[in-house]
Amino acid sequence: MHRITSFPLLAASLLAVALPVGALAADGNALAMARGPVTAMAGKAATTKVDKVFDEALRSQDPHLLTASGQRYENGVGVAQDVDKAIKLYCRAARMGDVDAQYRLGHIHAHGRGLKRDPELAAAWFAEAVKGRHRLASTQLKLLKVKADPKRKPSCGPTGGAETQIALRPHPASGEIAKLVHSLAPNYRLDPSLVLAVVEVESNFNPQARSPKDAQGLMQLIPATAERFGVADVWDPEQNLKGGMAYLRWLLDRFEGDLKLALAGYNAGEGAVEKHGGVPPFEETQAYVARILRRLGIEATEEKPEQETS
């Protein structure tokens, strides 16, 4: 179960910044989207300055607005230039099927500065944009000299397309829910064992679980979190997992890969983590974090495995 902080409405001026794709620079100063494997460091304070404009933009359910916001950050229009944030906005829009976002992701990986160029990943994103009939994507594929359909799938994961592995031992869950987690987790750059551990602790793999605080489904989303991450039917296992994974990914990005802080935020809300400068001094939250870390084999103390029901 978790609480969330509220955010102000996105400034209306954001709607006015839909830059044409052709006007964008060919080689923006791209930064790495992912900065190495997720680590489980304790006691790290949240020092990142809150960017409310970015946070509100990232919550948008409008793919065109997400892409326009990404263009703002990629080019520093009205905000500090930050291609790392641009990539996150583009990725969210691309997953919604926005072809301009798919094209921009291809462009960044093809012409990146500050991260290793990845022509194969670029080609995968351009090919995806071609499917949506983007007018420039096929030209970019020709420039990359890709003669056939790219074997690489478009991915928002770290460079190289690999998912982030953090568990020292794999989660033993099997069954339909586990299969679904393994198929979805790479889309959010999450270790499936981490997601399965969260599902186990939150709901014990019961899609109909409901808490006294109205946390619902496999990943125990409260209504505000479900709405925040676009979950229309919280009782649908796939939608619930997607919403929970999106929130967990957001928390990991927010706390720069600190797993303990992300888990604490999932349980108590990111506001509580920021207020206390670390894992909040709540018995429930501290036990929650410790239990998941034990399940992943990250902490030495062993916990007797619960019966798997997925």
The predicted model scores a pTM of 0.50
Is 308 known to be catalytic? no
* pLDDT at residue 157, as a whole number: 53
Task: Enumerate domains of the chain plus CATH numbers.
Answer: 12-34+50-143 (1.25.40.10), 176-296 (1.10.530.10)
Distance from the Cα of residue 224 to its chain's centroid = 18
Marked catalytic residue, from 202, 238, 299, 306: 202
Distance, CA of 182 to CA of 93 (rounded, Å): 22
Distance, CA of 237 to CA of 253 (rounded, Å): 24
Q: Which pair of structure tokens corresponds to residue 205?
A: 């793999």
3-state secondary structure string, the chain?
CCCCCCCCCCCHHHHHCCCCHHHCCCCCCCCCCCCCCCECCCCCCCCCCCCHHHHHHHCCCCHHHHHHHHHHHHHCCCCCCCHHHHHHHHHHHHHCCCHHHHHHHHHHHHCCCCCCCCHHHHHHHHHHHHHCCCCCHHHHHHHCCCCCCCCCCCCCCCCCCCCCCCCCCCCCCCCHHHHHHHHHHHHHCCCHHHHHHHHHHHHCCCCCCECCCCCECCCCECHHHHHHCCCCCCCCHHHHHHHHHHHHHHHHHHCCCEHHHHHHHHHHCHHHHHHHCCCCCCHHHHHHHHHHHHHHCCCCCCCCCCCCCC
pLDDT in tens, the chain (310 residues): 554 443 333 333 333 333 333 333 333 333 333 333 333 333 333 334 568 888 888 888 899 999 999 998 888 888 887 878 888 899 889 988 899 999 999 888 887 644 567 788 888 899 889 989 998 888 888 888 765 556 667 877 543 334 456 777 889 999 999 999 999 988 888 889 999 999 999 999 999 999 999 999 999 999 999 998 889 999 999 999 999 999 998 898 788 778 899 999 999 999 999 999 899 999 999 999 999 999 988 864 444 434 344 4
* pLDDT at residue 116, as a whole number: 67
